[in-house]
Amino acid sequence: MKKNNIIKIFAPYVMLLCVVLITMYIFNRNNVVIHELNYNEFITNLTGEAVKELEVTPKSSESVYLLSGKLEDYKKNESFKLIVPYTDSVIEKILTEANTQQLEVKVNKDPGSISWISIVLEFIPILLIGGLSFYLIRVMLSSGKGGTLDFGRSRAKLNQDGGKTTFKDVAGLNEEKEEVKELIDFLKSPKKFQKLGARIPKGVLLVGPPGTGKTLLAKAVAGEAKVPFYYISGSDFVELFVGVGASRVRDMFKQAKQTAPCLIFIDEIDAVGRQRGTGLGGGHDEREQTLNQLLTEMDGFGANEGIIIIAATNRPDVLDPALLRPGRFDRQVTVNLPDVKEREAILNVHAKGKILSEDVKLNHIAQRTPGYSGADLENLLNEAALLAVRRNKESISMDEIDEASDRVLMGPAKVSRKVTEFEKRVVSYHESGHAVLGIELPNGDEVHKITIIPRGMAGGYTQMLPKEERTMIMTKDELLQKITCYLGGRVSEELFIGEISTGASDDFKRATHIARSMVTEYGMSDLGPMQLEHRSGEVFLGRDYTNTNRNYSDTVALEIDKEIRKIIDECYQKAKDILTKNKELVEILANTVSEKETITKEEIEEIVKEYKSSNKSKKSKNIEE
């Protein structure tokens, strides 16, 4: 910690302690009771040996003696004082009587005129209290320090050189980098654009799922441009008091103009940029005022030349339309989940500094992690490293990678949970049913792992990954086969256990969701190519109070339910036919996973290969006979 910071932290406390001590001193001094005695009363007490303390102070400037002390019946905070004429006979009489009684008398020197020291001591408490008050007010109102009274100041933090992050630190996102490179070129050489009359986008909105690297990309833009970089969260604008957020927006742009050209990065802009006039019972006045000020600063009467705003959100659907129009956020850059090549590049970045075993192939990990974001991949390797440390290993092996993948997807294994033999048998057949359908269906997903070790809320799971990674479209047949795979667990329980369990509830939820989307959104039913419902991502209670977006009558609702039932029933029957036909394979897989608890892709492929070869030989024997 720097010396200046230590002084700033402890100085107020030291000053406060001094003020407290001085206040206590003044308070105690004011509590002293001083009795005014006349000369006769004093002499009477002196001769009666009632005086226990006596102090004599000559004051030649006033031609008097000041006598002070205590009597025997005085309390601790009581004393007396009196003034006697400045003559030798009077003071000699007093001193003689005191000597007779063996009373110690303290005789002070003549102070003469008023001492400057006493004047300074009188003013020290006032100076200290005034100084402390001035210091505290200055701290509260200090610029950019977030003081108690510093409501209207911007909370944006400034990085003068743009930061150390560059495009080299951002793996993948090649198209996204190209989109934002124009901003860097403009910040470095604006005349090149101005020569042809081109106007650089005033704002770029980064849109995408959480963890895909939106904030990292904004940092890289600032690092590449090497310009001042302000960063702030959308929630930092909104305060308890109305008008504070708008004041902070004004102050942020005022600071940015002084350092232009520069970048402003607003993270989670949906916290302040949501549509106005929404919500049950009206809008949020403070947030809407803040949004209005932001709209005005970005493109209003005032010009903000050289200021480029980059914002990030994963909820573009809730943003106000005025914020997304040309002239404000001119460009939207979608930062999607990485594909297999981008995942491999991301893994290479995060693998730096980690000791990996020879059996760890990052390209294999990339193939096994579709749907993972960059943050998920970083977390995967970090979890694997932590597991390796716990196991006292010198490097990270594929065992730790597999376990970390399971932990990220389903949570830690419940090793200590007691599982009965019946539960183990039910889960084994349930997961084997999913696996066999994935193996037998032509467009089914590839089975990578079957485990019956409880994780999270699941008693076990079958890891199935697509044979080909696609993100754009899915055919009707592929969707139907997905539903069939989801229903395989319940069908297997019914065929091989003779009972049905609650373990298929999540499977039904997913299967029903796909079936309903096929009928109401994708037009894949006898109702025809019509969109009867659309997904609503609204979070405003007033706009989406009933959480439904129905564009049909009750009669059509009945038809929708019939179509969904028809799809589910057909897929259920198809799953039953396939598992009945492959009963022996289900039995083999169930027995193997029950014994080993976890079987991998290679073991599954070996079991299927032996099963098919034995079936082939049986068929050939039957033909010969």
CA separation for the pair 570, 518 (Å, rounded): 14
Structure tokens at 373: 């974001």
What is the length of the chain?
625
Instruction: Return the closest-CA partner of residue 234 out of 188, 274, 270, 185.
Output: 270
Give the ranges where 48-142 is alpha helix by DSSP (H). 88-100, 116-140
C-beta separation of 180 from 204 below 8 A? yes
477 class by beta-carbon count within 10 Å (0-12 exposed, 13-18 middle, 19+ buried): exposed
Give me the helix-helix angle, 88-100 and 39-47, nearest 10°. Answer: 20
Structure tokens at 227: 């310009």
CA separation for the pair 334, 212 (Å, rounded): 10
CA separation for the pair 520, 512 (Å, rounded): 12
Identity of the amino acid at 496: F
Structure tokens at 526: 């006898």
Beta bridge partners of 65: 58, 84
Identity of the amino acid at 368: R
Which position among 344, 400, 431, 493 bears the catalytic label?
Answer: 431
Backbone CA torsion sign across 332, 333, 337, 339: positive
Q: Beta-carbon neighbour count of residue 497 at 10 Å?
A: 16
Active site residue 602: no
C-beta separation of 350 from 381 below 8 A? yes
C-beta separation of 421 from 594 below 8 A? no
Structure tokens at 61: 């400037």
Find all residues with CB under 8 Å of 169, minimum gap 6, and list them. Answer: 216, 220, 349
Task: Identify the residue whose tokens are 């500094």.
Answer: 353
CA separation for the pair 24, 280 (Å, rounded): 56
Render 579-601 in DSSP notation, one character per residue: HHHTHHHHHHHHHHHHHHSEEEH
Backbone CA torsion sign across 465, 467, 469, 472: negative
What SS3 class is residue 70? strand
What SS3 class is residue 381? helix
C-beta separation of 290 from 252 below 8 A? no
- Residue 447: its H or E element: strand 446-451
Instruction: Return the closest-CA partner of residue 246 out of 206, 290, 281.
Output: 290
What is the gyration radius of the CA atoms in the chain, in angstroms? 42
CA separation for the pair 80, 98 (Å, rounded): 16
- Which sequence positions are flagged as catalytic? 431
